[in-house]
């Protein structure tokens, strides 16, 4: 009874502090299964689990911003109806809360994951049919860690169910996949994105030109979180949003410095280019993968190099991407790429 | 007092806060915090954080000295459970000890709080926070890194004060002062060298100096020989690099780094930092591809612990680079790796950005990495838009002053934002207490029907709101009436005044006429 009371007061508190969701991506996160955009087939299957109030281990795979985490949260919220998933987080440390959210890319060292997962999974759930662990970005786990996880999943399956979330199901080892019901989230269509955005336009009373709305849909590539972030960024000024504002907001998400760094390199200013690279990685904390992704994008549209060199560049970018996964130093690997760019303008 | 047994780091500790050098801002913050401290203060504890030897502990000792407080220290080696801390910081400690009277007022210093026992998700820090809430004396903690996730709960009730590496010039001044007081004659060059080499760590510089002085006294070395062990290291690296860049063949290149005492990854960074200065644009790609290949081996070694591969790394870094380099400079001073320098400079900002991303990641259910790359810019944008929105954001993410400051373009708006956030907080406490009242009143009822209670609460809330609304309206009405009355009064007064003036004018007019007539008469006669 006391737990139940706690969960209800928690819900009341959430009502009280409704203004607190400051990022729209979070504010407009679906709270009910029926609010999940598209993914009709997935919703039908999950509805079955809710009706039977049980579920197997689940694996959600799909591109970013298609509703994987949201679906996991609403599913838990409906299955474990005594507990409120939205709004609180620190309470998950209490032993009586039957679910745990972990992000595999944040938990450094698989030992932490293993220890925390085991400690959580082996206890019986109170006031709930079972405990649930949501393991986000599960594809960033090494295969060793995944093998360890596989045993845990089996051993404690009577007390605990897993929801693994990843972008690529191929990065999850076969034995885990075979223990899970796999759900593949399709990229969202333009129509779906539009429907979702229009709800925000209306609720937040945003004035926006139709061209700008189309621009958001175009640049977000079916990623709802990205779309919402861009929209919020463009809406901060409070004026009517034009197409131009959207592209500016997109630019804020991708630092101009990367383009500047490439410019330096192809004009032979290696020293400046390298310094900028260090700043991006160390001061701004950009990941090498993000930098590489944008260099890749820029290379594709670059006009001052011929196609043959372009292909050479792509090969090199791919090689570096692979090397980074092998544990190499990003600034040294990327510097080699910059040095190549310096060489290009001489030919 | 030329006792060689005493450590200079102890005997030359600053006696008051004015003597703490190199971190003046931090000292001011510490003093302000201490002066405004009370058992009910919001920030009941101060965390001094920064690298070793920057004056954290010294500041606390100096503070206690200056204000004549008794300083009680707890180190990592002491048992730091709740009972132990309460014994030292509880209400019995407030009035001072019997022996020392009022002079025995205490400050409790908890050293290296980041080493406190307990896992992130279990009680260690939490029980410390509980103790601090009850404590009756000021508590100061030191930490190497206050922004570690472990200390999150502690940060909420803490004033975080950052100590930065001490500038070499300050270290030099202190060393000179010690030399003067200990009557040691030593070339200033040597002291300057020690200061520059300490990496901002005052303690290590003083210790090095004391070691040197001992050698000097015992006659084991002349003052010129003293620095040899220190200089050798860097000199070796400098000349090895020159040799390497000038080698122009594979074997000579390998020989250049032979016997060099440096860690392999540091060697890679030194070569990486300086190689382009000795290379033409045509060869740049070759040199850096070679370095990237060497780095690849290092990655593989780390990943698979296959140390047998290390020889290929060394071959590529030395011979490989030597072959590729084509424009060697004979007399070049090789510069310190920028990467290491930049890491050191940005230590604080990076830690703060990381802690913000952690807060954000928790709220929006994503990884810290994607919080930082995909959403942090938005938070920053909101913080710099307008105070109201910024305050909501700060409140939502539970950011502290340092975190907010790091995101603001205009740091002066911090004060305003904080004011609004505090207002939110009071409001929330009000709601919570009213809710807990509600709970207690209905807790004993048999067969609790929570939906009814919930409804009850909603109704009560609405009633309350309505009541407030009514009250406000009444007040408004009252004010309006008062304003109307005041207006009417004013009008009447104005009218009366006008009439009076008119009357006076009427009175004056004949006089004026008279006067006019007089003047014209005067003119006429003159």
Distance CA B106, CA B60 (A): 12
The two structure tokens encoding residue A131: 């405990």
CB atoms within 10 A of CB B510: 9
Look at residues A75, A227, A105, A77 and name the one whose alpha carbon lies nearest to residue A166: A105
Distance CA B177, CA B12 (A): 10
Does the structure show a pLDDT above 70 at B499?
yes
Point out the residue among B339, B368, B378 whose CB comes nearest to the CB of A278. B339
CA distances from A210 to A213, A226, A245, A250 (A): 5, 19, 13, 17
Model pLDDT, residue B521 = 55
B491: in domain: no
Does the structure show a pLDDT above 80 at B295?
yes
Nearest CA in chain B to A344: B282
Which runs of E-coded beta strand occur in chain A? 58-61, 99-103, 131-136, 160-166, 181-184
Helical (H) or strand (E) element with B158: strand B158-162
- Where does residue B361 rank: exposed (0-12), middle (13-18), buried (19+ CB within 10 A)? buried
What residues make up the domain containing B406? Answer: 347-433
Partner-chain contact B121 A116, CB within 8 Å: yes
The residue out of B296, B320, B345 marking a domain boundary is: B345
Looking up tokens 């000890």, which residue turns up? B97
**C-beta of residue B18 within 8 angstroms of C-beta of residue B109:** no
Q: Are residues B75 and B21 in the same domain?
A: yes
Coil, strand or helix: which one is A345?
coil
The two structure tokens encoding residue A283: 């001061």
Does the structure show a pLDDT above 80 at B86?
no
All domains of chain A, ordered by start, with CATH? 31-184 (3.40.50.300), 255-346 (1.20.272.10)
Q: Are residues B275 and B313 in the same domain?
A: yes
Q: Are residues B46 and B152 in the same domain?
A: yes
B494: in domain: no
The two structure tokens encoding residue B58: 């010294």
Q: Are residues B151 and B43 in the same domain?
A: yes
- Where does residue B68 rank: exposed (0-12), middle (13-18), buried (19+ CB within 10 A)? exposed
Distance from CA of A123 to the nearest CA of B (A): 16
Residues in A touching B454 (Cβ below 8 Å): 8, 12
Residues in B touching A103 (Cβ below 8 Å): 361, 366-368
Model pLDDT, residue A200 = 92
Model pLDDT, residue B303 = 80
Does the structure show a pLDDT above 50 at B82?
yes
Point out the residue among B289, B379, B448 whose CB comes nearest to the CB of A336. B289
Distance CA B526, CA B521 (A): 9
Model pLDDT, residue B438 = 55
The two structure tokens encoding residue B176: 């000179």
A101 phi and psi angles, rounded to 5 deg: -105, 130
Distance CA A6, CA B439 (A): 10
Partner-chain contact B365 A101, CB within 8 Å: yes
Q: Are residues B180 and B150 in the same domain?
A: no
**Which tops the pLDDT comparison, B100 or B371?**
B371
**Residue A282 per-residue DSSP state:** I
Q: In degrees to the nearest 10, what's the CA dihedral of A326, A332, A336, A337?
A: 70
Model pLDDT, residue A262 = 87
B414: in domain: yes
**Which tops the pLDDT comparison, B87 or A10?**
B87
The two structure tokens encoding residue B41: 């203060």
Lowest-pLDDT range of A157-171, B64-78, B108-122, B337-351: B108-122
Q: Are residues B260 and B327 in the same domain?
A: yes
Nearest CA in chain A to B272: A332
CB neighbours of A113 closer than 8 A, spacing ≥ 6? A102, A104, A107, A141, A145, A149
- Where does residue A132 rank: exposed (0-12), middle (13-18), buried (19+ CB within 10 A)? buried
Q: Are residues B254 and B302 in the same domain?
A: yes
For residue A60, the cross-strand partners are: A165, A183
Is the pTM higher than 0.80?
no
- Angular region, B479: left φ>0, alpha ψ -120 to 50, beta rest: alpha
Q: Are residues B103 and B211 in the same domain?
A: no
Point out the residue among B288, B377, B450 whose CB comes nearest to the CB of A4. B450
Q: In this complex, how many residue pairs, one in chain A and one in chain B, have their CB atoms less than 8 Å apart?
A: 171
Partner-chain contact B121 A342, CB within 8 Å: no
Residues in A touching B296 (Cβ below 8 Å): 323, 326, 328, 333
CA distances from B172 to A106, B18, B208 (A): 42, 17, 13
Partner-chain contact A332 B369, CB within 8 Å: no
Residues in B touching A343 (Cβ below 8 Å): 281-282, 284-285
B324: in domain: yes
Greatest alpha-carbon span in chain A:
77
Tell me: the pLDDT tens digits for B223-277?
Answer: 666 666 665 555 578 888 888 999 888 999 888 888 777 888 889 999 999 999 9
Tell me: the pLDDT tens digits for A265-296?
Answer: 888 899 999 999 998 888 877 788 888 888 88
DSSP string, A139-186: GGS-HHHHHHHHHHHHHTTTTEEEEEEES-GGGS-HHHHHHSEEEEPP
Does the structure show a pLDDT above 70 at B435?
no
B471: in domain: no
Nearest CA in chain A to B438: A9
Model pLDDT, residue A93 = 44
* 3-state SS track over B39-77: CCCCCCEEEEECCCCCCHHHHHHHHHHHHCCEEEEECCC
Point out the residue among B121, B367, B439 whose CB comes nearest to the CB of A103. B367
CB neighbours of B85 closer than 8 A, spacing ≥ 6? B74, B108, B110, B128, B131, B135
**Position B516 confidence tier, pLDDT thresholds 50, 70, 90:** low
**Residue B318 per-residue DSSP state:** I
The two structure tokens encoding residue B233: 């290291």
Q: Are residues B250 and B396 in the same domain?
A: no
The residue out of B320, B345, B370 marking a domain boundary is: B345
Distance CA A53, CA A60 (A): 19
**Position B307 confidence tier, pLDDT thresholds 50, 70, 90:** confident
CATH of the domain at B149: 3.40.50.300
- Angular region, B258: left φ>0, alpha ψ -120 to 50, beta rest: beta
The list of chain A residues with pLDDT below 70 reads: 1-20, 82, 84, 86-96, 108-110, 112-113, 251-255, 347
CA distances from A273 to A9, A178, B166, B215 (A): 55, 48, 31, 48
**Which tops the pLDDT comparison, B526 or B109?**
B109
Model pLDDT, residue A253 = 60
Nearest CA in chain A to B348: A283
Q: Are residues B353 and B246 in the same domain?
A: no
B132: in domain: yes
Residues in B touching A226 (Cβ below 8 Å): 374
B515: in domain: no
- Where does residue B371 rank: exposed (0-12), middle (13-18), buried (19+ CB within 10 A)? buried
The residue out of B176, B197, B227 marking a domain boundary is: B227
CA distances from A199 to A39, A40, A193, A194, B346 (A): 18, 19, 10, 9, 42
Distance CA A317, CA A300 (A): 12
Model pLDDT, residue B319 = 92
Total count of residues recorded for chain B: 526
Point out the residue among B295, B338, B350 whose CB comes nearest to the CB of A328. B295
Q: Are residues B48 and B144 in the same domain?
A: yes
Distance CA A8, CA A2 (A): 10
**C-beta of residue A25 within 8 angstroms of C-beta of residue A220:** no
- Angular region, A38: left φ>0, alpha ψ -120 to 50, beta rest: left
Identify the residue among A4, A9, A71 best suited for mutation to test binding to B, counting B beta carbons within 10 A and taking the highest: A9
Total of domains in chain B:
4
Partner-chain contact B288 A338, CB within 8 Å: yes
Distance CA A133, CA A117 (A): 8
What value of ipTM does the predicted structure carry?
A: 0.79
Distance CA A332, CA B291 (A): 7
Does the structure show a pLDDT above 60 at B95?
no
Mean pLDDT for all residues in chain B: 80
**Which tops the pLDDT comparison, B54 or B514?**
B54
State the first-to-last Cα distance of chain A, in angstroms, to the nearest integer.
77
Coil, strand or helix: which one is A58?
strand
Coil, strand or helix: which one is A61?
strand
Coil, strand or helix: which one is B428?
helix
Point out the residue among A9, A268, A278 whose CB comes nearest to the CB of B342. A278
**Position B217 confidence tier, pLDDT thresholds 50, 70, 90:** confident
**Long-range interactions of A221-224: CB distance < 8 A, separation 24+:** A221/A187, A222/A63, A222/A65, A222/A66, A222/A187, A222/A188, A222/A189, A222/A190, A222/A193, A223/A63, A223/A64, A223/A65, A223/A66, A223/A188, A224/A25, A224/A37, A224/A65, A224/A66, A224/A67, A224/A188, A224/A193, A224/A196
**C-beta of residue B429 within 8 angstroms of C-beta of residue B379:** no
A156 phi and psi angles, rounded to 5 deg: -105, 20
B506: in domain: no
Distance from CA of B369 to the nearest CA of A (A): 8
CATH of the domain at B198: 1.10.8
Does the structure show a pLDDT above 50 at B448?
no
Q: Mean pLDDT over residues B164-173, rounded?
A: 88
Q: Mean pLDDT over residues B100-124, rounded?
A: 65
In this structure, is the dihedral angle defined by the CA atoms of residues B197, B203, B206 and B210, taken in order, positive or negative? negative
Partner-chain contact A12 B364, CB within 8 Å: no
Model pLDDT, residue B229 = 60
**Position B193 confidence tier, pLDDT thresholds 50, 70, 90:** confident
CA distances from A332 to A64, A284, B305, B338, B356 (A): 29, 17, 21, 12, 28
**Long-range interactions of B274-278: CB distance < 8 A, separation 24+:** B274/B241, B274/B245, B274/B332, B274/B334, B274/B335, B275/B245, B275/B321, B275/B325, B276/A270, B276/A271, B276/A274, B276/A339, B277/B329, B277/B332, B278/B245, B278/B325, B278/B327, B278/B328, B278/B329, B278/B332
Model pLDDT, residue B2 = 47
Helical (H) or strand (E) element with A271: helix A270-278
Partner-chain contact B288 A335, CB within 8 Å: yes
State the first-to-last Cα distance of chain B, in angstroms, to the nearest integer.
103
Q: Are residues B73 and B111 in the same domain?
A: yes
Nearest CA in chain A to B345: A283
**Residue B188 per-residue DSSP state:** H
* 3-state SS track over B360-417: HHHHHCCCHHHHHHHHHHHHHHHHCCCHHHHHHHHHHHCCCHHHHHHHCCCHHHHHHH
Helical (H) or strand (E) element with B108: strand B106-110
């Amino acid at each position: 009874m006391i737990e139940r009371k706690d969960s209800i007061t928690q819900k009341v508190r959430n009502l009280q502090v409704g203004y607190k969701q400051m990022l729209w991506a979070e504010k407009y996160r679906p709270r009910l299964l029926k609010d999940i955009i598209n993914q009709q087939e997935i919703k039908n299957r999950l509805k079955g689990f809710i009706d039977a109030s049980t579920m197997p281990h689940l694996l959600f795979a799909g591109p970013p911003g298609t509703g994987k985490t949201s679906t996991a949260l609403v599913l838990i919220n409906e299955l474990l109806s005594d507990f409120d998933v939205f709004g609180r987080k620190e309470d998950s440390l209490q032993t009586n809360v039957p679910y745990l959210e972990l992000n595999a890319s944040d938990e450094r060292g698989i030992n932490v994951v293993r220890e925390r997962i085991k400690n959580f999974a082996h206890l019986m759930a109170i006031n709930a049919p079972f405990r649930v662990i949501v393991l986000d970005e599960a594809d960033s786990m090494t295969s060793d860690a995944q093998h360890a996880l596989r045993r845990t999943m089996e051993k404690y399956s009577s007390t605990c169910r897993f929801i693994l979330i990843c972008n690529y199901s191929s990065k999850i080892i076969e034995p885990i996949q075979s223990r899970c019901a796999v759900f593949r989230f399709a990229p969202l269509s333009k129509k779906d994105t539009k429907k979702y955005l229009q709800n925000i336009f209306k609720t937040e009373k945003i004035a926006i030109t139709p061209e700008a709305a189309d621009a958001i849909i175009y640049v977000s590539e079916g990623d709802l979180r990205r779309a919402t972030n861009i929209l919020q960024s463009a809406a901060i000024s409070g004026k009517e949003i034009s197409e131009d504002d959207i592209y500016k907001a997109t630019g804020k998400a991708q630092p101009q410095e990367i383009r500047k760094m490439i410019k330096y390199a192809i004009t032979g200013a290696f020293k400046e280019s390298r310094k900028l690279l260090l700043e991006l990685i160390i001061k701004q904390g950009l990941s090498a993968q993000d930098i590489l992704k944008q260099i890749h994008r820029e290379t594709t549209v670059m006009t001052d190099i011929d196609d043959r060199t372009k292909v050479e560049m792509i090969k090199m970018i791919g090689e570096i991407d692979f090397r980074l996964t092998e544990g190499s130093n990003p600034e040294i690997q990327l510097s080699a790429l910059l040095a190549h760019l310096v060489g290009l303008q001489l030919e | 007092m030329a006792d060689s047994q005493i450590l200079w780091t102890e005997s030359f500790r600053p006696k008051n806060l004015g003597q703490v050098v190199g971190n003046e801002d931090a000292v001011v913050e510490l003093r302000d915090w201490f002066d405004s401290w009370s058992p009910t203060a919001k920030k009941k504890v101060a965390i001094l954080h920064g690298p070793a030897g920057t004056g954290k502990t010294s500041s606390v000792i100096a503070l206690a000295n200056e204000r004549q407080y008794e300083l009680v220290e707890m180190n990592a080696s002491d048992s730091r459970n709740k009972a132990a801390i309460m014994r030292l910081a509880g209400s019995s400690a407030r009035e001072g000890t019997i022996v020392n009277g009022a002079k025995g007022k205490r400050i409790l210093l908890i050293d290296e709080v980041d080493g406190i026992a307990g896992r992130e998700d279990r009680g260690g820090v939490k029980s410390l926070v509980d103790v601090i809430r009850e404590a009756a004396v000021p508590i100061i903690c030191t930490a190497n890194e206050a922004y570690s996730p472990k200390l999150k709960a502690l940060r909420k009730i803490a004033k975080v004060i950052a100590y930065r590496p001490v500038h070499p010039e300050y270290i030099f001044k202190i060393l000179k002062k010690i030399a003067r007081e200990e009557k040691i004659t030593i070339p200033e060059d040597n002291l300057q060298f020690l200061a520059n080499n300490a990496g901002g760590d005052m303690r290590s510089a003083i210790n090095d100096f004391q070691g040197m002085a001992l050698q000097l006294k015992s006659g084991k070395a002349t003052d010129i020989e003293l620095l040899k062990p220190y200089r050798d290291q860097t000199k070796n690296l400098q000349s090895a690099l020159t040799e390497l860049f000038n080698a122009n063949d594979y074997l000579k290149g390998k020989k250049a780094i032979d016997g060099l005492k440096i860690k392999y990854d540091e060697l890679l960074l030194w070569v990486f930092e300086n190689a382009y200065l000795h290379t033409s644009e045509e060869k740049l790609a070759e040199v850096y591809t070679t370095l990237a290949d060497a780095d690849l081996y290092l990655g593989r070694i780390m990943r698979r612990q296959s140390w047998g591969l290390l020889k290929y790394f060394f071959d590529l870094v030395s011979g490989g680079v030597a072959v590729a380099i084509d424009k060697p400079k004979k007399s070049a001073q090789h510069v310190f790796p920028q990467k290491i320098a930049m890491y050191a400079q940005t230590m604080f900002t990076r830690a703060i950005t990381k802690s913000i991303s952690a807060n954000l990641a928790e709220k929006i259910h994503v990884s810290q990495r994607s919080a930082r790359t995909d959403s942090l810019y938005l938070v920053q944008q909101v913080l710099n838009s307008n105070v109201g929105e910024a305050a909501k954001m700060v409140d939502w993410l539970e950011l502290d002053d340092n975190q907010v400051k790091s995101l603001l373009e205009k740091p002066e708006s911090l004060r305003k934002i904080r004011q609004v956030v505090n207002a939110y907080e009071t409001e929330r406490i009000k709601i919570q207490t009213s809710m807990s009242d509600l709970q207690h009143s209905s807790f004993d009822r048999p067969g609790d029907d929570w939906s009814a209670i919930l409804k009850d609460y909603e109704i009560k809330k609405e009633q309350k709101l309505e009541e407030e609304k009514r009250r406000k309206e009444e007040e408004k009405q009252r004010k309006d009436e008062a304003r109307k009355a005041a207006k009417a009064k004013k009008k009447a007064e104005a009218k009366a005044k006008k009439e009076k003036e008119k009357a006076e004018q009427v009175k004056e007019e004949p006089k004026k006429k008279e006067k006019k007539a007089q003047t014209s008469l005067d003119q006429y006669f003159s």
